[in-house]
Amino acid sequence: MNLAIFFDPLPEELVPAPATATALASCLTPFLDTFPDWRTADLALIGLDEWRGSAAGAPAAHGADAVRRRFYHLQKGSGPARLVDLGNLRPGLTLEDTYLRLREIVAALLEHGTVPILLGGSHDLDYGQFLAYETLDRAVSFATVDARVDMAEHDAAPAEEAHLRRMLMHEPNFLFNFAQLAHQQYLAAPEVLAALEKLHFETLRLGEIRSDVRQAEPLLRQADFVSFDVAALRWNDAPAYYPANPFGLTSEEASQLAWYAGHNDQLSSFGLYGYRPDHDPHGLAATTLAIMLWYFVEGYYHRRGETDFSSRRFIRYAVGLPGTPAKLVFYKAKRTEKWWLEVESLADSNLKRIVPCSYQDYLRAAQGDLPNRWILTQALLG
């Protein structure tokens, strides 16, 4: 598939000669004169400048390019850094055309095992990211990091305020699980949160992440893709969106979440949306987002391939319970000490899922209580 027809090359002045041989720019292949070979890359950066889904319209400058300037100058991490930059996506004639264009591009990358990193544009572009997973012919899970829960129902709502509803209501339904992270309760309608609870989806408020960011790790570890809105960060750390919000994730917490996403063996695409350079005169937010991308890439190169639960990489724990079920089975990875929980459907023993969990879930089961994650997964299995 010739993906080059969908992209504009990058300006040469945007990709300076690397200051050192260890800078990311020295090992990243950008689209300048020749379209890079994305099939042999581990990760592919895609710039987006589509804002028709936003009520605020398009910013004057290209957000992805502003982040690139900082990202290229960072030092490479411990991995081989087989990265390509495919340039900037040409928007379609309509917003729906852009979604479909993204679907086709992301699906092609997924087919070849290359992880797309989508950067820029309004948050509703994750709908195109989502549509690509329809081609996998299996149920998928995803997570969104956002200060708001974008499930507006009224017809006049801009796409960036209703895209989550569109994904959750999509037919045919290929969604298994969804997690909403870092929302702020005073920005989320109670009926929306109640609807997510009724659908047995997990939510993790900003305050819960603030008290212990590790609570977010199992939710991100279950995701096939992650969609991150820059508005989830507090304005002081990332002055790059409107309206300003004094509360939100710190840059350190956001980078930790990006690391968790990158480290997830299952995750196959990552979107970082909503950056407006016209609100970022000193480039602080651009630097924050560049560092978040660095942590995502570094997390990717620390993946351990922990998917074979019958291997010697795992310790299996069976915990007896007084009721139904009579037993729960947990798995602990010897190397990373991550935990998983086996959930067998009570209605059909042939339906079974091994889902990420925490050590606290194991301790709760050891005390005779069913972990909430088991209850939610059991409901999803039907």
Query: How do residues 108-129 score in pLDDT, each as one tens digit?
Result: 999 999 999 999 999 999 999 9
Do 290 and 175 belong to one domain?
A: yes
3-state secondary structure of 77: coil
Do 150 and 289 belong to one domain?
A: yes
Query: How do residues 55-106 score in pLDDT, each as one tens digit?
Result: 999 998 899 999 999 999 999 988 888 999 999 999 999 999 999 999 999 9
CATH assignment of the domain containing 205: 3.40.800.10
Query: How do residues 363-376 score in pLDDT, each as one tens digit?
Result: 999 999 999 999 99
Do 44 and 99 belong to one domain?
A: yes
Closest CA to 161 of 73, 57, 296, 55: 55
Do 273 and 129 belong to one domain?
A: yes
Mean pLDDT in residue range 312-319: 96
* Residue 340 domain boundaries: 314-381
Do 222 and 341 belong to one domain?
A: no
DSSP track, 224-292: SEEEEEGGGB-TTT---SSS--S-SB-HHHHHHHHHHHHH-TT--EEEEE---GGG-TTSHHHHHHHHH
Mean pLDDT in residue range 290-319: 95
- Average pLDDT for the chain: 95
Q: How many domains are contained in the chain?
A: 2
Q: How many residues does the chain have?
A: 382
Do 294 and 356 belong to one domain?
A: no
pLDDT at position 270: 98
pTM of the model: 0.96
Query: How do residues 13-27 score in pLDDT, each as one tens digit?
Result: 888 776 677 889 888
Q: Is residue 142 part of a domain?
A: yes
Query: How do residues 159-192 score in pLDDT, each as one tens digit?
Result: 999 999 999 999 999 999 999 999 999 999 999 9
